[in-house]
Structure 1
Amino acid sequence: MRLDRFLTETKVGSRSEVKKFIKKGQVTVNGQVEKNIGAQIDENNAQVEFQGEKLHYEKFVYYLLHKPQGVVSATKDAQKTVLDLLLEKDQRGDIFPVGRLDKDTEGLLLLTNDGKLAHDLLSPKKHVEKEYFAKINGLVTEETIAFFAGGMTLKEDENISPSQLKIVAVDQKVQTSEILLIIHEGKFHQVKRMFHKVGMEVTYLKRVRMGTLTLGQLAQGQYRVLSEKEMEPLKNN
């Protein structure tokens, strides 16, 4: 790994800042001052110090983000992406969102560089629950709940596992509903298409939980670092 990248990923400073630190001789590698910004080091074994303080490299990072509407779940796009919401000190070239939330959908999104965990969380075989709160044009009934509980086919060979639908509120006058829905896949526009299947329209959608991770009181556009303790149940799923 390049030395300047190592320093940014150990949160010494921004990319521009760490270059200045290196040029000023404030960084040592294995006891020797290193002024070459592009010097290659073994990130797992090299003894790197900044201003006399030993740095510890984290192989994997995990951020829980409250994605706002209008932001794209991608690493690169002409429009604003979820990675643009990270502070410069937390940006790494290998971070990506685990799955996608539609541009007009808000809620919990995991950002990480742990490819194996991402694969496991998205695999239908793992049955990781994703819970959503939604506002619906239409009256959700006990019959709707039963239909969702039986699973469904959205189109040929696209089967959806049984899901758990709960009515939060119903407004008979304006014919709208508020619901909580637990699904086990993460197919394209899945929640919206499930309600289209029963002749209803999703007007607002928010993911509030993924596995054991919950959004809590995290404000839109904000994120926080997840601890090892929080990640253990997901890794051991």
Structure 2
Amino acid sequence: MRGLTNKVAFVTGGSRGIGAGIVRALAAEGVQVAFTYVRGAEPAQALVDELTQTGSHVLALQADTAQPVEVKQAIKAVIAHFGQLDILVNNAGVYVNSPVDEVAPDEAALAHLWQVNVHGTAQTVRAASEHLSAGGRIINIGSGSNIRTPYAGTSDYAASKGALAAYTRGWARDLAPRQITVNIIQPGLIETDMTPTDPATVASLLQPIMLGRFGTAQEVGEVVAFLASAAAGYITGATLNVDGGWSA
């Protein structure tokens, strides 16, 4: 155990994929976890039920990080339910594939991408910062596409995650007087229910990964748990690539 028992975490976008892996990893450390979801109440409730059966304290909240009012309401609900906030994990994000020479890009989708991945995350940090305990943790989930382009059409998504990396360094400076650390994890190719299964596609994706496999959501979650722990108390403003050597 990492000494996180009874700490309180707020995880955005926690009902599936990497987010669910983060929720599971924190709950396994004794953290009381609240997480948000936008749609799909059934997967969210299934995760709550799964972890409640193990004795964990987990709360699912429907909130869209693109909507500042909903984020503030969710954070208030966390404080009302658990009485404190120690760890913020900004995992919510969306992806849009849009090559720069696309004749008619989906401007609404691109605006939504920036609202969720950048502005929404900033709004979440602003809303949560007044409640975060001294010595708290903010952990942002970025993307390896910020430093290596996996395929065409990812420039807008990669740029949004690059902005989040820049924000991470700035927030680390802003919150250092309160001993709140701010770091960013940049996952590579992580196996989820959206991972391609076609053998040729899989082989192409695995080729540049040193370890020769996809990562798992649980592995990302374990890095989050480490950064949330006292063992990472002298790490702030840092970028951790969790990508099997893909970015090296």
Q: Give the TM-score band, short-chain normalised.
A: under 0.3
Higher strand proportion: 1
Q: Give the TM-score taking structure 1 as reference length.
A: 0.28
Query: Of the two structures, which has the highest relative contact order with CA contacts closer than 8 Å and spacing of 6 or more?
Result: 2
Higher helix proportion: 2
Tell which structure's C-alpha radius of gyration is larger. 1
Q: Give the TM-score taking structure 2 as reference length.
A: 0.27
